[in-house]
A = this chain, B = another copy of it.
Amino acid sequence: MADETTYKDKKVITIGIVSELTGLSERQIRYYEERKLIFPERTPGGSRKYSFADVELLMEIANKIEDGVQTHEIRKEMIRAQNNLNKEVKRKMIQGQLNAQFGIRNGPFSK
């Protein structure tokens, strides 16, 4: 139950297929990587490998680009979203600690 690596997150798709799936050119896909919006893995030989999650992300990126949002701005949004997720996780971890220690359910300081 620790390895929740589902199909969606396995990096197994080459750039040509990703291009087909997203409608983006390979140039565009590589460029978005250069702008740190996406992070494929590599084969030993150096070919890029993407996940279905990456494909979805690329389509979101494509939408924003169409709306005139710059990669730089998209990147900031993504970092913001990531930070919020991290905060969530930390909050839950602390909650878990308290639960483990004191079995607190809903005290006056919980939220």
In chain A, positions 28-86 with a C-beta closer than 8 Å to chain B are 43, 49, 52
**Chain A residues bordering chain B, tally (CB within 8 A):** 12
By the criterion CB–CB under 8 Å, are A7 and B52 in contact? yes
Copies of this polypeptide in the complex: 2
A90 on the interface (CB 8 Å rule)? no
Asked whether, in the complex, the Cβ of A17 is within 8 Å of the Cβ of B7, the reply is no
Inter-subunit contact B8/A49 (CB<8 Å)? no
Min C-beta distance of A87 to chain B, whole Å:
29
Cβ contacts under 8 Å, A43 to chain B: 16-17
Residues of chain B within 8 A of A13, CB atoms compared = 12-13
**Least CB distance, A8 to chain B, in whole angstroms:** 6
A1-28: which have CB < 8 Å to B?
Answer: 7-8, 10, 12-14, 16-17, 21
Determine how close the nearest CB of chain B comes to the CB of A49; give it in whole angstroms: 7
